[in-house]
């Protein structure tokens, strides 16, 4: 079974995907971690790499290829990434959402940044990603039609979100 957990930065996708993969005993693959590793290897911030990716489609495509390779090498896997629901053949696709301010607060806590800095960087990253996805993939990031389940994570903690997704997994297994 292949589950994708998608959503904008700070929506909780990596936290939820990690917990879900542990609960299910599935492999976890994070496109965000691949992107962060690439930024680190190039000695760039996420914002700098995002700007570079606006003119170099190979950056996003490399991340996509790597997550697809890893996903195909496992029978049961949870993949988190902004475009995972669009680019991978999946059994269940989940979109996590939360307001910009909530996401920025989470990022500020996670990365030890000032809220204003996290808010600016998150807004910039959202804009950069939306432009890239439309230009390079012809994907409108606001179109959620490919997702089976959409959850607003401001309302529940990670454990409740995982419980909601587990219900969908159980139902999917029952119908085959």
Residue-level pLDDT at 176:
62
Q: Report residues of the chain scoring pLDDT below 70.
A: 176
Residue-level pLDDT at 19:
97
Residue 95: strand pairing partners: 6, 150
Residue-level pLDDT at 93:
97
Q: How far is Cα 23 from Cα 174, in angstroms, rounded to an integer? A: 18
Residue-level pLDDT at 132:
86
At 25-34, the pLDDT tens digits run: 999 999 888 8
Provide the whole-model pTM: 0.88
Name all domains of the chain by residue range, CATH numbers in brackets: 2-175 (3.40.50.300)
Residue-level pLDDT at 32:
82
At 119-140, the pLDDT tens digits run: 999 999 899 889 888 988 999 9
**Placement of tokens 């419980």 in the chain:** 163
């Amino acid at each position: 079974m292949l589950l994708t957990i998608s959503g904008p930065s700070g929506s909780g996708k990596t936290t939820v995907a990690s917990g879900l993969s542990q609960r299910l005993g599935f492999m976890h693959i994070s496109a965000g971690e691949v992107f962060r590793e690439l930024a680190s290897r190039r000695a760039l911030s996420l914002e700098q790499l995002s700007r570079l990716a606006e003119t170099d489609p190979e950056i996003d495509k490399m991340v996509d290829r790597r997550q697809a390779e890893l996903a195909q090498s496992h029978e049961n896997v949870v993949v988190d990434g902004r475009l995972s629901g669009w680019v991978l053949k999946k059994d269940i696709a989940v979109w996590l959402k939360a307001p910009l301010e909530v996401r920025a607060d989470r990022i500020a806590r996670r990365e030890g940044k000032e809220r204003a800095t996290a808010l600016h960087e998150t807004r910039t990253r959202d804009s950069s990603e939306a432009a890239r996805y439309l230009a390079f993939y012809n994907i409108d990031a606001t179109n959620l039609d490919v997702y089976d389940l959409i959850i607003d994570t401001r309302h529940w903690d990670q454990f409740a979100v995982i419980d909601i997704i587990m219900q969908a997994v159980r139902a999917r297994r029952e119908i085959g």
